[in-house]
Amino acid sequence: MMYNNISQYDYDRIEFREGTNHDSFKIKTGAYSGTIVTFGEIALHEQMDGSDPKLKFQYQIEESALDADELKDDVDFNNYIGDMLTSIISKALDENNFAIGGNPDGTESTNNNSKESN
């Protein structure tokens, strides 16, 4: 399945932060190619007006040829990684390869960059 033209072929799951249960992903295509992002806490928030739920997530930019501070404030980048995360979650659900709930090893999330996908 593709979200805004993002599919599993646009990123690779990598182990960037050894010893944590947070997944890191390296973007392989497009304007953000080479950027590595580690996701922390992820939540779906139901909208009171009945519209589609909003995906909220925390992330850390681990590496990028682009300015990380500018990326954090870039609406297009945040929407891109939100769509990428949606693709990742969809694939995990399709393959029944996921975990729900708190961190089983007690680790904390990587940071507090909480963003909402539009």
SS3 56: strand
pLDDT at site 11: 94
Q: Is the pLDDT of residue 118 over 80?
A: no
pLDDT digits (tens, 9 = 90+) for 25-66: 999 999 999 999 999 888 888 888 988 888 899 999 999 999
Buried (b) or exposed (e) across 94-114, using 16+ Cβ within 10 A?
A: eeeeeeeeeeeeeeebbeeee
pLDDT at site 102: 53
57, 38 in Cβ contact below 8 A?
no
Residue whose pair of structure tokens reads 């993002």 in the numeric block: 6
Mean pLDDT across 69-81: 94
Between CA 13 and CA 6 the distance in angstroms is 14
